[in-house]
Amino acid sequence: MINPNMRFNIILLFLLVFNLSCSKRTKYNELDIQAADNNNTLNVIVLLGDGLGLGQITAAWYQKDYLHLQDFPYSGLVLTQSSNRFVTESAAANTAMMTGSKTNYGFLGIDPFENTLETLYEYTKKQDYKTGIITTSYMADATLAALFSHRKDRHQYEDIILDFYHNYPDFAVAGGQKHFDQRNDGRNLLDSLSQKGVGIFYSLSQMTTIDKLPALGMMHESLPPYLSDGRKDFLYQSSQKALDLFADKPFFLFIEGAHIDKAGHDTNIENQLKETLEFDKVAGLVLEYAKQHENTLVVVLSDHESGALTLLSGDNFEYTPNYAIDEHSGVMVPVFAYGPGAEEFTGIMDNTDIYFKIKNLIDHYLNR
């Protein structure tokens, strides 16, 4: 008889071994990379649906009868477990996908022993990539914070924004202005960024006047509302703006649809559907861009599923949505990919493998 603790240790051991074997498998010389422009570096667009699982995708597909996600030629499944909990959250999950190391629940950009890890965002910055980060949440929220911050508490919002200030991208759009300009330390980091030459904008109409980098858009004082409560489609529009501003430079662009998760916590199917469909619209936008710029890899990710949403039998061809919980669940989540090396993102993989696959592809291009 295996007691629950022993069983958990066995699972962790399995994850570690699985993790190692997967990372070994994806050396760049084994990659079958599609034809791409000879002189181009690989552009990387990561689209992350926070809380996006197969229930959400199926419900969205049923609503529309079509999803842009269907046009991605490669897809696979991702194990999401953190190093100390079976059911993870955004900080540990995105740290795993952006650094290749599993970490503890709530940790940002550090391993379980609190060693600082280099994220793909930081790596591409060092390679002279243009970088962009966009979210429907506040800037200090865990998913984006896992790109630029290294801390063991995802809730230290003002400290996380200080990390942003020291490690900011060329283009960023989010909510959470109060963590910049209504701080306990009395500093106004928007003024400071402006003095460093960062163009700050506060609305979509102001964004249209921005014609150079770096630029930072503050779309809300704290957490932007749901689309159904009046949030503008800034996720889509600022993604388009980022692609325009990056022009022909190599870039790393990370876009998060954060409210799919929030609707899972609220167990609200209408909001989860609307937010998933908006996310899918952005997937269509970046896919179209990648089709026209063949040195662009698009990877659509999820950090974990939210709400344990299942679609139960309803009348005729209707379904009854059923949330098992107002928290995250531990099931695998899908990954979709398009572009050079996209065929790597198939089968079942660990979330840490996402890092190695993207990193190897970037390096393959840099070394060519």
Nearer Cβ to Zn ion (261/275): 261
Nearer Cβ to Zn ion (238/306): 306
Minimum distance from CB of 197 to Zn ion (Å)? Answer: 35
178, 46, 357, 245 alpha-carbon torsion, rounded to 10°: -100
Minimum distance from CB of 323 to Zn ion (Å)? Answer: 13
Strands 74-79 and 347-350: parallel
Minimum distance from CB of 223 to Zn ion (Å)? Answer: 12
Q: Which two tokens stand for residue 65?
A: 């009868």
Q: Residue 22, CB half-sphere, CA atoms under 13 Å: how many?
A: 24
Nearer Cβ to Zn ion (86/319): 86
Minimum distance from CB of 182 to Zn ion (Å)? Answer: 25
Nearer Cβ to Zn ion (163/261): 261
Minimum distance from CB of 231 to Zn ion (Å)? Answer: 18
Minimum distance from CB of 327 to Zn ion (Å)? Answer: 7
CA distance 117 to 280: 31
Backbone φ/ψ region at 163: left (φ over 0), alpha (ψ -120 to 50), beta: alpha
Q: In terms of residues, how long is the chain?
A: 368
- 303 binding Zn ion? (CB under 5 A): no
Nearer Cβ to Zn ion (170/261): 261
User: What single-letter amino acid sits at 180?
Assistant: F
Minimum distance from CB of 105 to Zn ion (Å)? Answer: 12
Binding mask 18-37 for Zn ion (x = CB under 5 A): --------------------
CA distance 19 to 102: 9
Nearer Cβ to Zn ion (183/265): 265
39 burial level (CB within 10 Å; 0-12, 13-18, 19+) = exposed
Nearer Cβ to Zn ion (23/104): 104
Q: Contacts with Zn ion in 168-227 (CB under 5 A)?
A: none
Q: Contacts with Zn ion in 336-355 (CB under 5 A)?
A: none
The answer to whether 245 touches 212, Cβ cutoff 8 Å, is yes
> What are the C-alpha distances in Å from 155 to residues 106, 139, 203, 276?
8, 12, 26, 25
Minimum distance from CB of 366 to Zn ion (Å)? Answer: 35
Binding mask 95-114 for Zn ion (x = CB under 5 A): --------------------
Strands 296-306 and 333-338: antiparallel
Q: How many residues bind Zn ion (CB under 5 A)?
A: 1
Nearer Cβ to Zn ion (284/330): 330
Nearer Cβ to Zn ion (256/261): 261
Radius of gyration of the chain (CA): 20
Minimum distance from CB of 51 to Zn ion (Å)? Answer: 6
Nearer Cβ to Zn ion (41/94): 94
The answer to whether 260 touches 51, Cβ cutoff 8 Å, is yes
184 burial level (CB within 10 Å; 0-12, 13-18, 19+) = exposed
Q: Contacts with Zn ion in 248-267 (CB under 5 A)?
A: 261
- Residue 352 CA to its chain's centroid (Å): 14
Q: Residue 333, CB half-sphere, CA atoms under 13 Å: how many?
A: 31
- Which residue's CB comes closest to Zn ion? 261
Minimum distance from CB of 261 to Zn ion (Å)? Answer: 4
Binding site for Zn ion (CB under 5 A): 261
